[in-house]
Amino acid sequence: MTQEPIFEESSGNVFADLGLSNADELLTRGKIGLQVLRVLKQRNLKQREISELLGIPQPEVSHLMKGEFQRFSEGKLLIFLKRLDTEITLHLRPHHTLNQSAETVILL
């Protein structure tokens, strides 16, 4: 008799699904880091050029290009986007409240 596979619906945050305590932070870093990678890949730069552009040592570029975003803070990843001439807009709203319409937008 074959056992049916068990599936569990995702929460939308794989890090939370894995039970990690800093899941929101890891998801945020992942989203920002992926955007940094997209821009870098579009520019087709060598690691030495990326190092100079972002102001980080070449070994750190290697970690970034491998998707090791946990090595960088959200702030550092946002700085990378700014150095890549990317406009950043933050949408701030209350977390889990009845009045979800209150929102602040910040353009960096």
Give the tens place of pLDDT for each residue, 6-33: 888 888 889 999 999 999 999 999 999 9
d(CA 97, CA 27): 21
Quote the pTM value: 0.77
pLDDT tens figures, 48-103:
999 999 999 999 999 999 999 999 999 999 999 999 999 988 877 776 655 556 66
Question: What is the CATH code of the structural domain delimited by 14-107?
Answer: 1.10.260.40
Would you list the domain boundaries of the chain? 14-107
Q: Which two tokens stand for residue 9?
A: 């619906």
Model confidence at 5, pLDDT cuts 50, 70, 90, reads confident
Per-residue model confidence (pLDDT) at position 102: 61
Model confidence at 46, pLDDT cuts 50, 70, 90, reads very high
Backbone phi, psi, residue 103, to 5°: -140, 145
